[in-house]
Amino acid sequence: MRICIVGAGAIGAVIGAKLAVNGHEVVLIARGDHLAAIQARGLTLVDEVDHYSGTYRLPASAEPAQFPIQDVVFVALKAHAIAAMLPRMRPLVAAHTVVVPAINGLPWWYFHREGGPRDGQSLRTLDPQGTMFAALDCARVLGCVVHLAAEVRAPGLVHHTGGRKLLLGEPDRSPSIRLRTVCDALTRAGFEATPSRDIRLDVWTKLLGNLSFNPVAALTGYLMNQICADADVLEVIVAVMREGMKVSAHYGHPMQITVEQRIAIARELGAARISMLQDLEQGRPLELAAIVGSVLELAELAGIAVPATRMVHALVLGRARALGIA
């Protein structure tokens, strides 16, 4: 298949490189020094999970319009960068193209074909200008939840540090042919790609971890295993997770796992430097709106008190403002 990775940073580069190794025609959208390094020397992937490394000469550009229509487009951008990119992606997308947002937090398409009273609604924290639904026909979207960890260690150099799991699902919960096709391609590329019966439940299951672990990592500087080993800090994680579970249950997705089981999933990532800590250390804007702000907005709409989440959000936002990256 023709596959474009829009946002070939840590996660996007891992997905793109492994699909290319498996014979797909992969092109990359990146920027800055990372793009320049990929163009000059290729993309180097050091896979600490499957214990191999390689350098791949893949076509790369900052401009989606430089590439033809694709069969699959993976969007692996930070949440705050997606709105500006969606209109630029139009040259890549035709009626058959599948768009897979492999992103953190609550996705902007969350209420598309949701089937409930908020069907088709957008949230101001995710789409403050109200333009994202218009920029991309959400009929193209296949939901994706990423359970792997990776880091850009230097321009053009990406380390896959943990996990292989990708969960994919149709917004309307249907068992579609395109869902099976994309899952099969990812499975053959070495991922544990599973079709989801309810991708929103999977979004919430991961979001509980992002909602709690990510801001705490940004505040403490801890790696994932250090958070899990610190009993006092873990109490904050538990409080935020419990609040998140109340919100998810209100919107029709009661958790099928306990807080302890969700923490056990996080432990599997080992000594991972999770995304919000990576962003803070590298002076990049934090994904607070998609990961925390969206949950606060949903809680407010539902009249649910989430004091621990509000406190953590205020502290991380203050930290980001002090660093000039808010």
Q: How far from 194 is each of 43, 78, 145, 176, 270, CA to CA, in Å?
A: 27, 23, 10, 13, 22
In tens, the pLDDT along 138-160 reads 999 999 999 998 999 999 999 99
Looking at the structure, do residues 139 and 209 belong to the same domain, yes or no? Answer: no
- Residue partners of 297: CB distance under 8 A and separation at least 6: 123, 124, 125
- Split at pLDDT 50, 70, 90, the class of 326 is confident
CA angle centred on 65, ends 61 and 69, rounded to 5°? 105
Last residue of a domain, one of 175, 197, 219: 197
Number of domains in the chain: 2
Residue of 18, 165, 206, 246 marked catalytic? 206
Q: Any catalytic annotation for residue 246?
A: no
Q: Check whether residue 240 and residue 282 sit in a common domain.
A: yes
Choosing from 167, 197, 227, the residue where a domain stops is: 197
Domain match, 170 and 307 both: no
The reported pTM is: 0.93
pLDDT digits (tens, 9 = 90+) for 245-257: 999 999 999 998 9
Q: What CATH number does the domain containing 62 carry? A: 3.40.50.720
Of 140, 164, 197, the last residue of a domain is: 197
One domain for residues 207 and 188: no
Instruction: Report whether 228 contacts 263 (CB < 8 A).
Output: yes
Same domain, 54 and 148: yes
262, 165: one domain = no
pLDDT digits (tens, 9 = 90+) for 175-184: 999 999 999 9
Q: Which residue has the tokens 């509980």?
A: 208
C-alpha to C-alpha distance for 257 and 205, rounded to whole angstroms: 8
Range of 184's domain? 2-197
With residue 81 as reference, give the H or E element that holds it.
Answer: helix 79-85
DSSP 8-state code for residue 292: I
